[in-house]
Every structure is written in C-alpha cells, then in structure tokens.
A and B are shown apart, each in its own frame.
Chain A
Amino acid sequence: MEAISFENIRVNENIHSQLEAFNRIAELAISNGIANSKPAIVDGLLGREAESTTGFMDGFAIPHTKSSEIKKPSVIILKSTNGIEWNSLDGSPVRFIISLLVPEEDAGTTHLTLLSSLSRILIRSEVRDQLINASSASEIVEILSSVMKNT
C-alpha cells in the first residue's frame, strides 16, 4: 500500500473551489516529492475535468491526471469541511477528494492496477459512508487497506 500514505492525506481542509483544491493537491505533490511542477499538475487536473467531471456521487470526486512531471504513481486525499461545487454526476458538492497522479511513462502495471481497484471500491456505498465519516488520516488508510485486502 505504498501509494496510499499518511503524508498524502489531509482531513481538515477548508477548500472553497475546485481550483483551490487542485492547487492544494499540487502543493502537496511538490512538497512530498511526487511531482516536479505545480502548473503541470493543476493544468492536467483542470484538463481532465474539462473533458468530463470527475465528481460522482455523495460528495466524492476523483480528479486524476497523467504527466511527465509526475515521478511516481500516487494518491492524494483531501477531506474538506465545506462542500465544493464540482458539477458532480449527482449534483452534490464535493467533500472527499481522492486524486490519482500517474507518471507519463509506463507506470508499471501493479500501480495502475492499484489505482483501478481503488476506483472500483469507491463505487460501493458502504465504503463511501465509512470514508466520509472518517476523521483522521490513519482511519482513512485503515478503511482503504481493509477493503482492498478483501477485494
């Protein structure tokens, strides 16, 4: 589970817009040594969002991007105390952001499989319930690990 680590999770964020969220993701990515360029991450996430929204249900969004500026496949999780307008599939404001960052070059199948299985478990409403109620980074890691182990 090296792609999901405590240092990439922030639970008490106070985010007001999608752009602010993307800036925050990019900042974390830079300071945690995941990526080299902040604009590349923000532009990539915005570009993906322009194709179609990544917000899906019950306040969850999975903004993601692929860039040569990203060094290793990573997951950044932000939990916002207030809802962010995201143009979600169900129209709900987003409170739980799981951002998947993938390098441009072959990222290795294991990592991509990890990211795809992570996307899969978010479809289950019981997993979403647990995550939205989690109050700490360690709780989130625990939930994700246990669900994925049982997949």
Chain B
Amino acid sequence: MSKIKIVAATGCPTGIAHTFMAAEALEQAAKKLGVEIKVETHGQVGIENTLTKEEIRQADGVIIAADKDVQAERFVGKPVIDVPVAHAIKDAEKLIQTIIDGKATVYKAKKQESDTTENTASTSGSSIGRQVYKHLMNGVSHMLPFVVGGGVLIAVSFLFGIYSADPNHESYNAFAAMLKNIGGIGFGLMVPILAAYIAESIAKRPGLVVGFIGGMIAYTGGAGFLGGIVAGFIGGYIILLLGKLLSGLPKSLEGLKAIFLYPVLGIFLVGTLMTFLVNPMTTINEAMMDFLSGFQDANPILLGLIVGSMSAFDMGGPVNKAAYVTGTALLSEGNFYFMAGVSAACITPPLVTAFAVLFFKKYFNQSERNAGLVNFILGSTHITEGAIPFAAKNPIVVIPILMIASSISAILTYLFGVQVPAPHGGFLVLPVVTGAVQWLIAILSGSLAGAFLYGLYKKREAQKERSAEIAA
C-alpha cells in the first residue's frame, strides 16, 4: 500500500503568524506519522504552495485549518476535517490520525458545519450577529466605490447649474448632462451591488445572481437601500436553502446545479418574494406623502422633526423620497419654505459622517476615513446617499443618530424661515437661497450635533471591545 497522502489549507484573518504555524505543525506531525502532506497557506502575501487539482484528486484526505475562506468548494467529495486554525497548531497529530483512520467525513458543499468532527461546530461557528455584520460589510465595501464614483460625478454636474442636465432649460450643458447620466448609472447600481455582495458573502458565487436581481427589483420598485439589504439576505439564504434541498441529487448533476438550478430557481424565488415586498413599501410611501402635505401649517418644530426623521431614515429610499417629492411638489406651487427643510435634512447625514470622521479619527478605519472626507463633497451637494455605507454597518444605532441630526437641521431651518427655491444641488444653490447664512447655521448645527453623537458611539464601542477583552 502506498503512503497516505494528505492535502491541507491553512489561513487566519491577519495571515501573519497562525497560518504558518498551523502549516508547520501539520508538516511536522505528518513527518512523525509517516504520511505525505502538502499544505497550502493563505497568508498576507497571498496563497503559497498552491494545491493543484491533481493533488487534491490524489489525496486521501483534506485538512482545512482556517478561520477564513480557503475555497473549500474544491474539496467537495473528499474526506475533509474542517477546524479553526488553532486546532492544527495544538492537535496537528490528532487531525492527521483522523484522516489515517479514515474517520473524516466526506465534504458536501455548504453542509460541513453539521457533519464534520464534533468540536468543529462549536468553535468555528461564530455568533449570528458577527455573521450578519460580515455579510453586510461585504455588500457595503463593494458598494462604496459606486457611491463615491457616481456621487462625485453628479456633484460635479451641478457645478454647471442645477438644471444643467435638463435639455429644456436655459442652463443646459451637454457635458454636465453626460456627467449626471454617468453618475446616475453608478448610483443606480448601488443598491443591486449591495444586495448582490451580501448574498455572495452568504452563499458564495451562486448568491451573486439572486442578490443582484433581488437588489434590482428593490431599486426599480423604489425600496431603496433597506430593500437592498433585505434582498441580499433573502437571496443568500434562499441559495443556502436550495443547496440543502438539492443535496439529495446525484453527484453527476453537480454541474447542472451551479449553471442551471441555482440561478433559475433562485431568481424565481427571490424575484417573487421581492415583488411582494416592494408593493407594500410603495403603499406606505404614498400614504406618507399625503400625510406630509397635510402638515403644511403645523408648527415648525413638529414639521422639522418629521421631515428630518424621514429624510435620514433611509437616505434616498422611499421614505426619504416621500419627503423630497413633497418638497418639490410644493416648490412648484410656490412654497419655498418646505423644501428648505427637506434640503437641510438631506444634506445633513453625509456631513454628520464627515465631521465624525474628522473629529473622532482614531475610531474609524482608513477606508471609513476616506469615505468620510468624500462626504463633505457629497453632503454639500445634497447627496444623502453618501452616508449609506456608514449607516449600513450598524443601521439600528446610526440611523437614529442621523435622524436626530437631520431633525435639528430641519427644525432650525423652519424656525429661521429660510426659503430654498431649488430642488437639489446643496450648497451650490446658496446664491439663490433667502436666508443663506441662517440655513448654513441650521445645517451645521444639526451635522455637528450628529457627528458628536456618532463619534461618542464609536468611542464607546471601541472601549467596550477593549474592556471586554481585558475582562476575558
């Protein structure tokens, strides 16, 4: 009988130390037990000692010792042990012995948690909250470049005039119209990309298509970024569910699953679900518009509170649009007061994040800092969506903070009696604003108050993490 051959893959989040310690431990243990092993390392420098298809095919067993994705799909059908990286450092011999004894279970896609070695399930499954956060972040980080790229081009187009993209307006400029068009396409993809990569994080590649389409339905149906988050999670879990339901199919149909069954069944299910979910959102939307326009003569504080909360609630989504569209509708009737509050409330959220990043720099990571600074531009040009990447990371805390900030801006704007005759453009329309200075004061007050709250929240989070660690 020939020597037993094992392949392994190791990886840890930072990829500096444990990845290689695990690899070394496995190699030493293999030498001792007289088996052949090849260990692929997923470290900071990339993947080294890569396993070939042939090596995987010939191997008698696979050891995955990783706290990150090491493309385990490759090992479907092989006896696999899947453990956290620390197990390989501590118990390398035991892991190899398990393979030698033929006690490793055969790997099936997406089901490893429940049926590999017992201790795997308890240690490798991180908490649900952390999982959800990881999926969200995958969506947000892929969405960010679309927001920034699209947003900045739209902002630049406003420099040519607020109506420069409207061919029927005297300030029409072909170049500005093109910029706005390109930027708009980037923006339009934001929600689908968010949904697609949330689903991709949950269900790998098959998740991409369902997330994308679910997100597109959310976007075109007017369900905004909250709809996109819903679509991403629904899509991802539908694919996981399908994977479970289809796991009984013979292995020869494996290829058919990926190219035919997942996409077709997946988008059918996601599409149907999302179509039903989008409709109630539109109804809510319309009801809110009626409600708002009936609020014309209410006291400014209450009106500011409502407009501010609505504008910041979903930033460019249906609730925000209800306030915004009401503003533009009233604008065409010659009411310039209402819009001033809406604009102030829409400008505030990105500025909140921008100031927070500026004043509480050390509690944000590098990419957040960069995005925060871009938000000075996006906020100043009435592009509320700039705040979405920040809100999406922890909507339950961040959105209320933004709502408070926007409310302050809107309330002050109504109290000062500011009039804004333009429906968009942010600070670029300052020359035509009646009470421009008061308007600026109102917006800055709200933004700074929000930034302060947000910064304190981030600071507390950081301290909590630290003290939890010290206690542990």
Binding site for B on A (CB under 8 A): 17-19, 39-40, 43, 46-54, 56-57, 62, 64-66, 68, 87, 89-90, 100, 102, 104, 107, 109, 112-113, 115-117, 119-124
Q: Apart from A51-B13, A62-B21, A121-B24, what 7 extra A-B contacts exist at CB < 8 Å? A: A40-B362, A43-B466, A46-B469, A56-B90, A120-B21, A123-B24, A124-B28
Query: Taking the complex as formed, is B33 at the interface, i.e. its CB lies under 8 A from any CB of chain A?
Result: no
Distance in angstroms from A58 CB to nearest chain B CB is: 11
A19 to B362, CA, bound (A): 19
Distance in angstroms from A126 CB to nearest chain B CB is: 11
A49 to B466, CA, bound (A): 10
Ordered nearest first, which 4 A-B pairs have the shortest CB separation? A120-B24, A116-B20, A119-B17, A123-B24
Q: Which residues of B contact A51 (CB under 8 A)?
A: 13, 67
Contacts A39-B362, A46-B469; is A119 near B462 (CB within 8 Å)?
no
Question: Which residue of chain B lies nearest to A65 when distances are taken between CB atoms in the complex?
Answer: B14
**Inter-subunit contact A52/B67 (CB<8 Å):** yes
Q: B21, B462, B470: which contacts A19 (Cβ < 8 A)?
A: B470
**Inter-subunit contact A116/B43 (CB<8 Å):** yes
Q: Which residues of A contact B41 (CB under 8 A)?
A: 116
A104 to B466, CA, bound (A): 21
**Inter-subunit contact A66/B362 (CB<8 Å):** no
Query: Taking the complex as formed, is B293 at the interface, i.e. its CB lies under 8 A from any CB of chain A?
Result: no
**Inter-subunit contact A123/B90 (CB<8 Å):** no
**Inter-subunit contact A46/B466 (CB<8 Å):** yes
Contacts A43-B462, A52-B67; is A115 near B17 (CB within 8 Å)?
yes
Q: A18, A48, A104, A119: which contacts B21 (Cβ < 8 A)?
A: A119
Contacts A46-B466, A68-B366, A104-B366; is A62 near B17 (CB within 8 Å)?
yes
Question: Which residue of chain B lies nearest to A98 when distances are taken between CB atoms in the complex?
Answer: B17
Distance in angstroms from B91 CB to nearest chain A CB is: 9
Interface residues of B in 53-90 (CB under 8 A from A): 67, 84-86, 89-90
Q: Mark B15-50, 1 if CB is under 8 A from A, else 0.
A: 011111101110010000000000001011100000
Question: Which residue of chain B lies nearest to A107 when distances are taken between CB atoms in the complex?
Answer: B44
**Inter-subunit contact A117/B20 (CB<8 Å):** yes
Question: Which residue of chain B lies nearest to A66 when distances are taken between CB atoms in the complex?
Answer: B14
Question: Which residue of chain A lies nearest to B468 when distances are taken between CB atoms in the complex?
Answer: A50
Q: Which residues of B contact A52 (CB under 8 A)?
A: 12, 67, 84-86
Question: Which residue of chain B lies nearest to A101 when distances are taken between CB atoms in the complex?
Answer: B16
A117 to B45, CA, bound (A): 13
**Inter-subunit contact B44/A123 (CB<8 Å):** no
Binding site for A on B (CB under 8 A): 12-14, 16-21, 23-25, 28, 41, 43-45, 67, 84-86, 89-90, 362, 366, 462, 465-466, 468-470, 472
Q: Which residues of B contact A119 (CB under 8 A)?
A: 16-21, 24
Q: Which residues of A contact B85 (CB under 8 A)?
A: 52
User: Can you spell out 30 A-B residue pairs with CB atoms less than 8 angstroms apart?
Assistant: A17-B470, A19-B470, A39-B362, A43-B466, A46-B465, A46-B466, A47-B465, A48-B14, A50-B465, A52-B12, A52-B67, A52-B85, A57-B90, A64-B14, A64-B16, A66-B14, A66-B16, A87-B472, A89-B90, A90-B90, A100-B16, A109-B45, A112-B43, A115-B16, A115-B17, A119-B16, A119-B21, A120-B21, A121-B24, A123-B24
Contacts A48-B14, A54-B17, A64-B14; is A123 near B45 (CB within 8 Å)?
no
Please indicate which of the listed interface residues B28, B84, B85, B89 has the most CB atoms of chain A within 10 Å of its own CB.
Answer: B89
Q: Which residues of A contact B465 (CB under 8 A)?
A: 46-47, 50
Q: Which residues of B contact A64 (CB under 8 A)?
A: 14, 16-17
Question: Which residue of chain B lies nearest to A44 when distances are taken between CB atoms in the complex?
Answer: B14
Q: Which residues of B contact A54 (CB under 8 A)?
A: 17-18
Question: Which residue of chain A lies nearest to B91 when distances are taken between CB atoms in the complex?
Answer: A89
Distance in angstroms from B133 CB to nearest chain A CB is: 13
Distance in angstroms from A113 CB to nearest chain B CB is: 7
Q: Which residues of A contact B12 (CB under 8 A)?
A: 52
A139 to B357, CA, bound (A): 46
Distance in angstroms from A104 CB to nearest chain B CB is: 7
**Inter-subunit contact B16/A116 (CB<8 Å):** yes
Q: Which residues of B contact A100 (CB under 8 A)?
A: 16-17
A50 to B17, CA, bound (A): 15
Q: Which residues of A contact B28 (CB under 8 A)?
A: 123-124
Q: Which residues of B contact A66 (CB under 8 A)?
A: 14, 16, 44
